[in-house]
Chain A
Amino acid sequence: MEWLISLIIGVLTATGVYLTLRARTFPVVMGLTLLAYAVNIFLFAMGRLTIGLPAVIDKTAESMNYSDPLPQALVLTAIVIAFGMTAFLIVLALKARGELGNDHVDGLHLAKDELPLNKTENVQGTQLNNDLIDDESNMKQSKQTQSVQQEAN
């Protein structure tokens, strides 16, 4: 049984790590969920693997063997927390999808995030910051706004 459990924990962790390193939010959420599963089984196994033994102490049992109840309590706490966090993360990922334009973890990088004063450029004319906004970045920005619009469509 030990090798099976350790194999499961290992595979879950490896897939979890791989998925959390992906660039899109959904695989990241899946990866974190798998990591949470892995850690739950790991915590459970830390109470030692036993079969058919009572939790805490059985009055009628001849031996003093019992399965450790503490890891079970820990797992319960961990499950609840991981569940809540995953729910929150999914909602946040949806919000990010709406606000950032796509589901990349870094979102669409707009030129206006990078360049100072872009939003006042229209108001003020160009006399103040010719040196800051060159044609190339303007072009890049308009391209990106286009792609945002396409995404939206």
Chain B
Amino acid sequence: MSHLTAWPVFLPLIAGFILLLAQMGGLRLQRMISLLVVFGLVVLSFTLLKEASTGAHQIYLLGNWIAPFGIVLVLDQLSALMVTITSLLALGALAYAVATDTDKKGAHFHVLFQLQLFGLNGAFLTGDVFNLFVFFEVLLLASYGLLLHGSGRLRTKAGLHYVVINLIGSTLFLFAVGALYGVLGTLNMADMAAKVAVAPADDLGLIAAAGLLLLVVFGVKAAMFPLYLWMPSAYANTSAPVAALFAIMTKVGIYSIIRVHGTVFSDNAGELANYYAPWVLGLGLVTLMLAALGVMASRGLREQIAYLVLASVATLLIGVGLNSPEALSATLYYLIHSTLIAGAMFLLADIILKGRGVYEDRFESGTAMPNAILIGSVFMFGAIAMTGMPPLSGFFGKVLVLSAALDHVWFAWILGVVLFAGLLMILSMARTGSLLFYKTIPEEASANSSGSQTGPSLNRMALAAVLGLFLASPVLVLFAQPITAYTESAANQQFNPSNYIEAVLSAPAITENNK
């Protein structure tokens, strides 16, 4: 039992408290602590990644209570990967927030940011369903604060919708957890999986209903059809670093489906084995189609990127719904790519928005922005990665998902929807790029506007943060072999839940002798 496992959870929590006290020391001190902690998290998460890659489950018993009775933190390859993605994304988002002074627009930005990371890492590492609920609440409450950071009419409206839908989601979560506890008598995921396998036939209906209710909750988080309507406006109207960090929030839903449903309703679950998978796959296909239409119909760049995030979520749902180790491996590869690139795109959209002055990010001809060639090239790079065109990682992610889909009975539908949606997205991004960067109004026509002449000069550090996140895409391509090897072994580990169950339930408590 290594204490390192618990640090990604507690480090941001402790940092949150310290930051609250550091308020007196001024913003500079807060920024330094915050950046230092997030950098520490990156280092820590890579250490954990290395530790997890041995294939053994690291179990941390909180309060030294053995497994089904106490709460456990479980580090395996999947959770280590999620923690790593989170910390990398957080580093980029935080660097951007500091570079553009977003954290000055309201109190406690850094505190909320750290608490958000606390909730995210906790949700990724916990092995207990009710504890997952608590961490969901932590990350949601922090996200409410972050979403509303700064102000604005539309932001408040989107925030209200976001808060209400998530509160309803939390209530459903409790109903589902309560029903599962009532039937199975346990909250520990490993124990649950063991008990579902031997559940009496009378209880199966109730367990199945509770499991689908949980799927609805995770669907709200992941923005699965028909529960995605809150998502585009919430992401489009919040500040850029927050939107970038929220790129991981939808993936929390995906992760929870993989973790909870994949473990509890795995192949070993008797009659209920994988009964959720067709739902995920079907709804994923519908979500992808609607997301592609949303991308086409968007009226602003940020809204469009939010729909692109939705499309990536839908692709991930399809990968999860395919329910095979190959598909899960491809899903995880695409998850790394889509999270980091989506974060970078939100940040880039903010740079474009500021450069265009009064035209903001609306889709209409404006005056040329400063440094249009540089920003335009970065945008093109991002658009290629995001829509999944070669030679960047989005393409490889999609190819992997599609090749895993070939064995599935629905493969014609999956191929058709994914490729057609991809085509629509490529078309819209091409249109967006040419509209933003080519169809500009000559300067003299708008000489009397308060527009771009006085626009801010390029913020180099902000651009560096964006480029840093975009760097993930070539890295994912260049090191595709070791990364896919890792995701494959993570997927295989996830598809052998008996090892997980055994590791959790047999983890010994520390006694005085072996302390």
A binding-site residues for B, Cβ under 8 Å: 20, 25, 28, 32, 35-36, 38-39, 42-43, 45-47, 70-71, 74, 77-78, 81-82, 84-85, 88-89, 92-93, 95-96, 99-100, 105-107, 110, 113, 116-117, 119-120, 123-124, 127-129, 132
Instruction: Say yes or no: A96-B157 contact (C-beta < 8 A), given A43-B178, A117-B362, A120-B358.
Output: yes
Q: A70-B187, A74-B178 are in contact. List 11 more A-B contacts (CB 8 A).
A: A39-B174, A42-B178, A43-B178, A71-B181, A77-B130, A84-B141, A85-B163, A88-B141, A100-B153, A100-B156, A107-B157
Q: A80 to chain B: closest CB distance in Å?
A: 10
The answer to whether B171 has its CB under 8 Å from any CB of chain A is: yes
Q: Is B160 part of the contact surface with A, judged by Cβ < 8 Å?
A: yes
Find the A residue at minimum CB distance from B138: A81
* Interface hits, B48-70 → A, CB 8 Å: none
Contact B299 A42 (CB under 8 A): no
Given contacts A119-B358, A123-B449, A105 and B161 within 8 Å (CB-CB): yes
Q: Are B441 and A36 in contact (CB under 8 A)?
A: no
Residues of A within 8 A of B179 (CB): 46
User: Is residue B17 contacting chain A, with contact meaning CB distance below 8 A?
Assistant: no
A-B contact pairs, 7 of them (CB 8 A): A43-B177, A96-B156, A96-B157, A100-B156, A116-B364, A120-B451, A124-B448
A32 B168 Cβ-Cβ under 8 A: yes
Structural contact, A85 and B364, CB atoms closer than 8 A: no
The answer to whether A92 touches B441, judged by C-beta atoms less than 8 angstroms apart, is no
Q: Contact between A92 and B178 (Cβ–Cβ < 8 Å)?
A: no
Count of inter-chain pairs, beta carbons less than 8 A: 110
CB of A74 within 8 A of CB of B449, answer no
Option from A20, A74, A78 in Cβ contact (under 8 Å) with B164: A20
Q: Which of A71, A117, A132 has the most CB of B within 10 A?
A: A117
Given A39-B171, A99-B156, A113-B154, A70 contacting B181 (CB threshold 8 A)? yes
Nearest CB of A to B40, in Å: 29
Report yes or no: B175 in contact with A89, Cβ–Cβ below 8 A. Answer: no
Closest residue of chain B to A20, judged by CB?
B168
> Are B160 and A42 in contact, with the CB atoms below 8 A?
no
The CA of A25 and the CA of B164, in the complex, are separated in Å by 10
Q: In the complex, what's the smallest C-beta–C-beta distance from A72 to chain B, in angstroms?
A: 12
Contact between chains at B178 and A85 (CB < 8 Å): no
- Alpha-carbon gap, A38 to B172, bound state (A): 11
- Separation in Å of the A20 CB from the closest CB of chain B? 6
Cβ of B377 within 8 Å of any chain A Cβ, yes or no, is: no
How long is the Cα–Cα vector from A5 to B449 in the complex, in angstroms? 67
B170 on the A face (CB < 8 A): yes
Q: Note all chain A residues with C-beta closer than 8 A to B446.
A: 124, 128
Contact assessment for B164 and A32 in the assembled complex, using a CB-CB cutoff below 8 Å: yes
Q: Indicate if the CB atoms of B364 and A117 lie closer than 8 Å.
A: yes
A84 to B163, CA, bound (A): 12
In the A-B complex, the 6 residue pairs with the smallest Cβ-Cβ separation, listed nearest first, are A46-B182, A116-B362, A43-B178, A39-B174, A46-B178, A120-B358
Q: Give chain A nearest CB distance to B84 CB in angstroms.
A: 29
Tell me whether A105 and B450 are in contact (CB under 8 A).
Answer: no
Q: How far is the CB of A12 from chain B (nearest CB, A)?
A: 11
Find B170's partner among A20, A85, A113 (CB 8 Å cutoff): A85
Chain A nearest CB from B487 CB (Å) reads 34
Question: Least Cβ distance of B33 to chain A in Å?
Answer: 26
User: Contact between A46 and B160 (Cβ–Cβ < 8 Å)?
Assistant: no
A100 CA to B364 CA, complexed, in Å: 26
- List CB contacts (< 8 Å) of B112-160 with chain A: 130, 134, 137, 141, 144, 148, 151, 153-154, 156-157, 159-160
- Is B10 part of the contact surface with A, judged by Cβ < 8 Å? no
On chain A, the residues within 8 Å of B151 by CB distance are 99
Contact indicator A25/B160 (Cβ below 8 Å): yes
Chain B, range 405-459, C-beta contacts under 8 Å to A: 441, 445-446, 448-451
Which residues from B are CB-within-8-Å of A46? 178-179, 181-182
Report chain B residues within 8 Å CB of A110. 153
Kindly name the residue among A36, A78, A84, A106 whose own CB sees the greatest number of chain B CB atoms within 10 A.
A78
